[in-house]
Structure formats: C-alpha cells, structure tokens
Structure 1
Amino acid sequence: MHPRVIEVTERLRQRSSRSRAAYLQQMDEAAALPRGRRALSCSNFAHGMAACPAEDKQRLRLPDEVNIGIVTAYNDMLSAHQPYESYPEQIRSILRRMGATGQVAGGVPAMCDGITQGEPGMELSLVSRDVIAMATAVALSHNMYDAALCLGICDKIVPGLLMGALRFGHLPVLFVPAGPMPSGLPNDRKAQVRQRYAEGLASREELLEAESQAYHAPGTCTFYGTANTNQLLLEAMGLQLPGASFVNPGTPLREALTVAVTEQAARLARTGQGSLARIVDERALVNALVMLLATGGSTNLTLHLIAIGQCAGLQLNWDDMGLLSEVVPTLARIYPNGQADVNHFQAAGGSAWLFAQLLEAGLLHSEVETVAGPGLERYAREPALQQGQLHWRDGPAASLDRTVLRGWRDPFRADGGLRVIRGNLGRGVIKLSAVQPEHWQVTAPCRIFDSQQAFVAAFENNEFRQDMIAVVRFQGPAANGMPELHKLTPYLGVLQDRGLRVALVTDGRMSGASGKVPAVIHLTPEAEAGGPLARLRDGDVLALDAGAGVLDVQMDSAEWAARSPVPAGDGVRRGWGRELFGFARRQVSPAEQGASCFTDSLILADGGEL
C-alpha cells in the first residue's frame, strides 16, 4: 500500500473512532432485532402485504424467506432514470423465480440539474440530496425488508440514497445502475456551439439542435459529470457489481446485470452477509476518494463524500482529499477533462483497467468487503456474455486508447488535480484537471456579482475588457441552497479565449461541468454567514496561485480586518417552491462539513459525533 493512503486512512479512522463505534453499535442493535416483518403485529403485517398477489403473500408468511425492498428514483423526465420504469416488475419476477419476494418500498424525488441550470429550481438541487436521504429512510422504516435495492444514478440522488440507506446499515443494500445513453454529438462540438451562442454567433435554433444531438436517448448523459462520477465511486466502495456502471440501457448485458444484482441481493439477505455498515468503512471511503482523484471527477463529491461519511460515523475532510491528491495520479481523460465520453472510456478499458492500475500502484485498499464478495480485485474484471450467460473476465492488459486511459507509471498527471485553497478569503477547492498550467496563476482586480444573471448582463454589455477575477457570492448553502453556476462556463471560456486572464471565485458550486477556466468554489465561511467574500469590493486585487493552493486579497491586513461585510439577504427565497426549504437553509452545515442538514442530528448527547 502507498504510505500516503495508509496515513490518510489511519487519520480518518482515529478521527472517527468515537462516532464510528457509536454508529456500529446502533447498527448491531438493529441487526439483533427480528429482521424484516418477523416482529410486526398481525395488523401491521397484513397492511404490509395487502396489495401483494396471493403467491407473494404465501411467501411473505414464511419466516425463513426474504423480501427485498426497492427504493426507486424513477421518473421519465430524467433520461438516466427513464429505464427504471420497468425495473420493479423485472426485479419482482427475478425474485419469484428464486422463491423470494420484492416490493417497492418507496420512491424518492429525482431532479435534473441539466434542466434547472441557471433557473430558480436549481436552488433546490443540493437540498434535494437530503430530502432523498429522508425519503429513503421513510421507505425503509416499515421494517418489511431483509435487504434493499436502490435504483438511482444522477447527481444528488445516489448520495441521498446512500445517506438514507446507511441509517439502515444492518441490511445489505445494493445499487442498480441503468447505464449511459449511446454517444451523440461529441462534447467538444457541443461546447463550441455553446460558446458561439454566448458570443451571439449562433442562433437559438442551432444551439437547441446541438444540445438535442448530445442529449438524445434514455440513459445517463455521457460526459463525466456528477452522475457518472457517482457510478465509478459506487464501484470503488463495493456497492455495485463490478463493471456494471457503463453498460448501455436496453442491451442483453444490461439486463443480465440487473438479474445478477437482484439475485445477489437475495443471496446476501438469506445468508445474513454483506451488511452496508460493514462495507462502508474508512477504507471504502478512501477508495472512493482515490477513484474521484484518479479520474478528475466531479467536485460535487467533495461535499457528498463528507456527508456520506457522516451518516456512517466517518469524519472525512478536505485535508484528507488534499493529501491524497498529491500522490494519486490522473489516469483518465473524460470530458470535460478530455474529449472522450464515458462510452469511449468504457471501450478503452473502463473501470476494470482503472481498478487494475490503482490496485497495482497500491492506491486502493484491496482487502475490503463488497456486495460481490470479499476483495476489491473483483473489480479489475469486466462483465460479458458467453453463450447468453453472464460471467466476469479479466480486463484488458493494456489501455486500448492512451488518449483516454493510461497506466499509473505513465499518467496524464502525477497528481489528482484537486487543491484545497487557503488564504484570507477562507477555504475552498479547485479542480485543475482540465485547466492548463499557464492559467493556474491569475492576479487581477475582481468584479463582484450576487447572481449569475448579473454576470451575464455585464458580459452582454461588453464590460470585461481586461484581466478579471469574477466573484459570485451569496451562492452558499445557507444563502440560496448552493446552486451550480454552470451557466457561467461558456462566458468565462469566451473571455479566456480572447486572451484575458480570468478566474471564478465563489461560495457556490460548479460540479463536474467545470472546465478550462480556474474556478475556486465552495469557499467557506460563505458570504451569507459574514465570511470574507462579503467584505470584498469591486476593484480589490485578488491573487490566485492554484498550484500552491493560495487565494488572497492583496490589501493591508489592518485595512482588511477593519472592513465590514455587506449585509446578507433576508434569507427568504420565494417562488418555484423555494420558500418550503427555508428551514433547510437555516440549519445547513458549511460546505467544508458537507453542506448537510443532518450534521446537528448526528451529534451525540455528550458532544461526540455519530
């Protein structure tokens, strides 16, 4: 094992010793109770199976048989989740063939950031993760189930499902992917049209046609944003079957994998093995972080992994991420960190190649439990059909496209490209995977904006004619729910292409869609809480050195300390349902603590963290 991986894992284990012990005790107490419907009163039990077919009712009465709860994020507006429409009946049929039963335990909301980018609804995106966690807990609270299958893929949905499921960690919980859509318009061409539209050089009709060619079929969007990052990290944590992430919907192999994961859930439930609490430990969390860094994945996971860890009694932090980023090489180039999409990545060797390389380099913990069985080496194999039967074979011995995948001895970068940013403006993160080194250092006057719309208006008024650092503040979790600021990406790209030195600084998010312009994000304390961003004024000179992880305002320290922050807003966000989430904004934790509504709920009576 690489000594840095051992060091970070041990730091995490020691830091979490009390909270992890309390969590495991809670899970052990739950496991000691009669599992799934066996202790329910006759009235409760009758309610739980009233709508079941007669055959299922008979099986549910058998004390030694298992019942699998299905938590689904299906809706047919999300392309990634549309294939799930038929999954519950398919899963029930598979279980019946095994003599088991399955029920849809509940549905969770699933919104699409791609639809709400730049719109008021985007302010509900991050908090929807915690709503999904609560909905998952409600679904599993009926105590009818011996295991659970989670149907979810996209941005906040997988983290929310996992956070909620971890509170039922005494059960086996397996994730069921549906796969990416086939490749459409290449991502670089899509980005070109977006920039041309931002400059007024392309019509709305041309833009819509390009976007419709890119997002064109059922399945996950094919760029490497949060959704596809989620998929690789689920494999790294051992919560999905090996190589299941990037098999297209509607194919025989996709169907065979759905059969296999359903059968495995029943097997684990029958044997009492594979509990979620034992799989998601400090090693699994570090494995997920290593995979995030090695692939240049979505910066959203710098929030989600912390929040997920908290729900398992594990206290991950940004410093852990920064330490690992120094030694984990970048082995993949997937758009926006390269030109390939996830289908191209899969064809070049996919997850099997990545696991093999990272295991060989000693960067992943191999001796871990997974839903497929003990040992992460299983994930260096890939699924295939042989005479109609599913089996796993060794992955490729070499990368089949070195512009997409490389080995650990000859990586794209020697590090993971993630930096923790420090300075007199607070702490944040920056992803450098797609930023060329010549753009890592920017010293320039800042322009202050309190919304994306104000920035776009200034761009359209041709106000940006010199080097500039755009500061978009009051975008943190307590201010407006921390929306992604993806709307800014093409405009900033245009300015950089014009030869200006530009950067973005914000207490908001950019996600996996962040690209070639340096963006310091998640700055904390946020402006809403009186953080340093609220003390900035137009024209203040900021100095960013992304390579060194430093961001400062260049000002006499006494003058800076004496400056008062601009007042925060009144906290009321109305329209598009935002007013319903005021309670969440009032109690949400800072970005560095996962931007979670549950942090206070996971504190023990004696002050320790659960």
Structure 2
Amino acid sequence: MALHPVLAAVTDRIVERSRGTRAAYLARHRAAYRQKVERSQLGCTNLAHAFAAMPAQDKILLKEASRPNLAIVSAYNDMLSAHQPLAAFPAWIKQAAQSAGATAQFAGGVPAMCDGVTQGQDGMELSLFSRDVIAMATAVALSHQMFDAALYLGVCDKIVPGLLIGALTFGHLPAVFVPAGPMTTGMSNDEKAKTRQLFAQGKIGRAQLLEAESKSYHGPGTCTFYGTANSNQMLMEIMGLHLPGSAFINPNTPLREALTYEAALRAVAISAQGERFTPIAEVIDEKAIVNGIVGLLATGGSTNHTLHLVAIARAAGIHINWDDFSELSAVVPLLARVYPNGKADVNHFHAAGGMALVIRELLGAGLLHGDVNTVMGPGLEQYTQEPFLDDGALVWRDAASASHDPDVLRPAADPFSADGGLKLMTGNLGRAIIKVSAVKPEHRVIEAPALVFDDQNAVLDAFKRGELTRDFVAVIRFQGPRANGMPELHKLTPALSVLQDQGLRVALVTDGRMSGASGKVPAAIHVSPEAVSGGAIARVRNGDLMRVDADTGELAVLVPAAEWAAREAASIDLSHKQHGVGRELFAVFRQNADAAEAGAASFRLPDWQE
C-alpha cells in the first residue's frame, strides 16, 4: 500500500526540519558503534569494582569481551500497582541471559510516581518533572560503561518517556522495553464515572466512593483505562521497542513471564556481540516518531504525549510540533474506543484484536511507515502478530482477520470517526491542544463568558457553593511548567461533567495539563505561552466572551483587538507553590522549563539541539 500523501508530506517536513540536528546526533552515536565492548574500556580496578558481587560464573563471562552484558533499568516499587509486578523480572532476565551465554546486572532504579495517587494534591506538581529526573537517573545507571544492551522496565505516565529519553542519550546501546501489563478488569468504567459524579454532587459519601475506587483499582498491573500509562505501552509497540503483542498481557501469567524471558534473549541478539546489532539510535528515527503520533491518534491516546513525544524526538535530534500532530489527526481515523473515549477497558481492547489489528489496519491504509527498524529486525509487519504459548513454548501468530468487537475496535475502512480527534487550537490566546475523541459534536463549540481561576481548588469550591450553574469557560491559569510544574487538572472532570449533563455549556482553558484521561468536556490545554511567562492567558478577565471551537481550531477572547493589545498580563504570588512535598528541590526545573510545545523539558540537551 502506498503511503498516504499527508503522512509522507509530514514526515518529509520533519526530516527536513531536523536535518542538521539529526545528522549530528547520529554522527555522535555512530562513532561508538562496534567499538570495543563497553567494559573493555575500563581499567582493571574499575572492572573489579563492577563485578565484585557477581557469582563466580558471571565473573568469568564478564572478563570475556565477546560476551554481552545486559543492563536492567527498572522503575520497580511495590506501592504502585503498575510497577509492583516488576519485582520478579530481573531474576527472569538474568536467567535468560545466562541461557544465552551472556550476563545481566541490575544497573539502577528510577523513581516512579503515580498521577492517580497525587491527583489534585501538591505532589502532582512534581509529576511532569519526574520525567526528567527519570531520564537523568537512567543516564546515571548506564554511566558505568559496563553494558552492551539494556532492558528498560517501566509502565506509567512519566516513567516510559523518561526511560526513553535516557536511553536515547545512550543511542549506541540496543534497547528493549519490557512492560508489566494491565491489571485484570474490575468495576466498569461507566459505573466508576457515575460514582465520581455522585460524590462531586454530594449524593454519596467518601466511604462509598472509596469502595467503588477500590473495586476499580484492585490488583497488580496498570490501571485499565486508556490514559497515559497504556498509551505508553501502545507507543513502545508501534515504535518497535517492545516484543510484538506484549503491551497488554496481564501480569503474573505464564505468557507475561515468557515474554519477559524472550525480551532478554532479544537484547542479547541485538547487542554488538549478537546476530543483529540494533542500537536504539537506528530504531527511533523520524519515521518511528511519526508512527508513534499516528498510533496515538488512531487509538485516542493521551494528550500528555503532545509533550512527551516532542521531548523524546528532541532527544534523538528530531524536531516535531503541534502542527504535525494536527495535520496527521485530520487524516488518521479513530479505530478504537477505550475509556474515557468509550466504555471498554484495555483488556477488552486487547481481546478485540488489540495492537496487532490496529497496526495491520494502519499499514494497510498507508498510514504507517512499514520500513522501519525494530528490536525484532527490519519492518513493522511482524507487529501484526500476537504472542501465544504452545505447549509452554512462546510463538507468534497472525492477528485476527477482523475485530472481535466492533464497538471497541474497527477497521480503517469503517472507523469510529474519520479523524483522530486531536486538534491544534490557535487564536489571540496563543496555541493549545484539544482532544475531542470523547466530546460529542454538540459540545465542541462553546461561546460563553470567562470565569478566571488561578487554582483548580477554587473551581471546585465555586462548584460546591452553586456558583457555576451557568454557561461559562473556566480559565485556569498559572498552571504551566514554569509556574508550578504543570499539574494535571483531572480532578475537575467530575464537576464539569455534572454541569454539562445538566444542559449547561461549559469548557476548560488552561496552561496546565488535563491528563491522559481527558474526557467529554471540551478542554483546550497546554496553552502556550503560559501565564507566568506573560502569555495571553494571563490577560483574560472575568466576563470576557470566549470562543472555544474544536471544529475550526479557534481559541479566542472576543474583545476588540485594541483593548486586548493594551491589557497588561496579570501576575500572582506563587511562593506557596515552591515548598512542601519536595517542591523546594525542583526550583531549577521550574526556572528552566521549556514551553509545552517544546516538550516542557527542564534540561538542555547536547549540541545537536542548539
């Protein structure tokens, strides 16, 4: 199938835009390809330190330059359900490596925080910056120059992007990403959403809410809605960094263990000493990044990746922007409806055909680059297969010929919608992103007076006082990366949903994030420039007529141009956002954060980014 012309044009534009930076990135990392194995560059004292605690047999192998040594970088902790299953993985990986005549060492751990735990709390203001901490922690783990390939164990929101950014700074090393899988299905997402709305209205108490939430989040594995965590897993698969079909296999199952074992064998095979050397610098290129954007759009994935994918691409010397997302969204059909874009969860999505079917449909429609490098070798076609156990042996079979549930997953010829539902918003407020996969057409154009808030709790307080029973656009400013770390404002979803269900016309506009679970209320998010940098969102006043038009992409304050130009931007005292729950330690992150469209990174990457 010929490439769709828009896919080809956007890719060509990205290649041209990135020509100099990508060439510099590749030149730096290719200089390290197929040189001596990493540890052979160490002195004897260095090497002795590095394997002092290893078993005797492993020491023998580590002394041999011909034997690959695998790094394990893990986000394990046992508080978070998504990462708790990772406890068992290092032992499996080491066993697999030994079976292939290689070794593996636990190189280092990275932090893993949960937006579900910190949602609406002060700790959420560390969340986005934790991505950069994870990237740096990954670099520290790999800095010992002991490794010939790496396996990255992580799942949730900022963890996988952080691991990938870190991995790309070691572009000469092959990389395999190893997921843990989603928890089994609990309370239906529809029932969970209704319970949250009842609590927001004061119709049920905290005990009833906690009981419902406990039935939803009830065991090991990723949360089962299609937020950022599961969007991460989709991305790693469609970008060729997972084993095919491994994203949504539940933890604590024989298949999950077999896939983890096989991931280690694959890392050995693609190491410099293996049969098919495949460094990550050659996997994550312009085509892989475009494939990631297409996958995000086709599945209705997380808006957080309009930040993360930009930062990931920059780490590989590639420059993308929101125009690229928006233009691709116009031609990429929506193939999946997974909560919050539908009632099904990711287990249902996987059972309906999952990633193998999505990739096959997109390839058939000319909407993916098939000629890419992956950890499995050249070509994305092999990702149209699913893993199974056949008498205990891991095998792959072709995906189902059709969706097992067309209410959840559809072919490209008969999608849920002809576009991906992600749009660039522009106007006199700047640039923003809106996701309308779950927004009904009648709610996509809102023209109403502004109600301006500088904190999400102020919105909820006004809701509880009954002050929001009218049409309005909630403008929540000073929520950008430089103001307070750009927290998610998902805590507002139940209240705004209640108002919309009452027939009121409501929308949200913010320089913060709304989360991977952006739902049925129209939300123009990531407004740039942000308020603290003098962005136009800081000029909005209560009562200004605003227009949020997701159909045309217009985001505007409807006041005379001269009056708008003459207004001064508001400022507020943010000192109370600079201490508590560790925020003191992140002052340098806030001071140096890029704009949202640049990825909101707080560090400056090497000279290929200049």
Aligned equivalent of 1:518, options 518, 522, 526 = 522
CA contact (8 A) 1:116 1:122 kept: yes
Aligned equivalent of 2:200, options 179, 198, 201 = 198
CA distance in 2, matches of 1:343, 1:236: 18
Aligned equivalent of 1:588, options 577, 593, 596 = 593
CA contact (8 A) 2:447 2:547 kept: yes
Mind listing any 5+ residue stretches in structure 1 that lack a counterpart? none
**Given residue 94 of structure 1, which amino acid in structure 2 is its aligned partner?**
A
Given the alignment of the two structures, is residue 292 of structure 1 paired with residue 296 of structure 2, yes or no? yes
Corresponding residue of 1:274: 278
Aligned equivalent of 1:392, options 384, 391, 396 = 396
CA contact (8 A) 2:37 2:65 kept: no
CA distance in 1, matches of 2:491, 2:293: 27
Aligned equivalent of 1:302, options 300, 306, 329 = 306
Corresponding residue of 1:405: 409
CA distance in 1, matches of 2:35, 2:376: 25
Corresponding residue of 1:467: 471
DSSP-derived class of the 2:446 partner: strand
Give the structure-1-normalised TM-score.
0.98
Q: How far off its partner does 1:58 sit?
A: 0.8
CA contact (8 A) 1:305 1:594 kept: yes
Given the alignment of the two structures, is residue 22 of structure 1 paired with residue 24 of structure 2, yes or no? yes
Aligned equivalent of 1:157, options 156, 159, 163 = 159
Map of 1:128-527 to 2, 5 A cutoff? 128-269=130-271, 270-271=273-274, 273-527=277-531
CA contact (8 A) 1:503 1:517 kept: yes
CA contact (8 A) 1:355 1:379 kept: yes
Q: How far off its partner does 1:267 sit?
A: 1.1
DSSP-derived class of the 2:473 partner: strand
Given the alignment of the two structures, is residue 108 of structure 1 paired with residue 113 of structure 2, yes or no? no
**Given residue 393 of structure 1, which amino acid in structure 2 is its aligned partner?**
R
CA contact (8 A) 1:530 1:568 kept: no
CA contact (8 A) 2:315 2:605 kept: no
Q: How far off its partner does 1:90 sit?
A: 1.6
Q: 1:48 to 1:292 in 2, by over 3 A?
A: same
Corresponding residue of 2:537: 533
Q: How far off its partner does 1:374 sit?
A: 1.1
CA distance in 1, matches of 2:100, 2:605: 40
Q: How far off its partner does 1:601 sit?
A: 3.3
Corresponding residue of 1:577: 582
**Given residue 598 of structure 2, which amino acid in structure 1 is its aligned partner?**
Q
Aligned equivalent of 1:597, options 585, 595, 602 = 602
**Given residue 507 of structure 2, which amino acid in structure 1 is its aligned partner?**
A
Corresponding residue of 2:96: 94
Aligned equivalent of 1:557, options 558, 561, 567 = 561
RMSD (Å) for aligned C-alpha atoms = 1.0
CA distance in 1, matches of 2:51, 2:607: 36
CA distance in 1, matches of 2:574, 2:157: 29
Q: How far off its partner does 1:388 sit?
A: 1.3
CA distance in 2, matches of 1:379, 1:16: 27
CA distance in 2, matches of 1:323, 1:64: 48
Q: 1:548 to 1:603 in 2, by over 3 A?
A: farther
CA distance in 2, matches of 1:573, 1:17: 39
Q: How far off its partner does 1:570 sit?
A: 4.7
**Given residue 243 of structure 1, which amino acid in structure 2 is its aligned partner?**
G
Give the structure-2-normalised TM-score.
0.98
Given the alignment of the two structures, is residue 57 of structure 1 paired with residue 62 of structure 2, yes or no? no
**Given residue 20 of structure 1, which amino acid in structure 2 is its aligned partner?**
R
Deviates more, 1:560-569 or 1:346-355: 560-569
DSSP-derived class of the 2:427 partner: coil
CA contact (8 A) 1:136 1:161 kept: yes
Please give the per-residue CA displacement for 1:37-92, whole angstroms capped at 9, x wherever unaligned: 01100000001101111111111011100100000000011101000111111211
- Matched positions, count: 605
CA distance in 2, matches of 1:467, 1:67: 61
CA distance in 2, matches of 1:17, 1:323: 21
**Given residue 579 of structure 2, which amino acid in structure 1 is its aligned partner?**
R
Q: How far off its partner does 1:34 sit?
A: 2.1
CA distance in 2, matches of 1:411, 1:505: 29
**Given residue 415 of structure 1, which amino acid in structure 2 is its aligned partner?**
D
**Given residue 526 of structure 2, which amino acid in structure 1 is its aligned partner?**
H
CA contact (8 A) 2:111 2:134 kept: yes
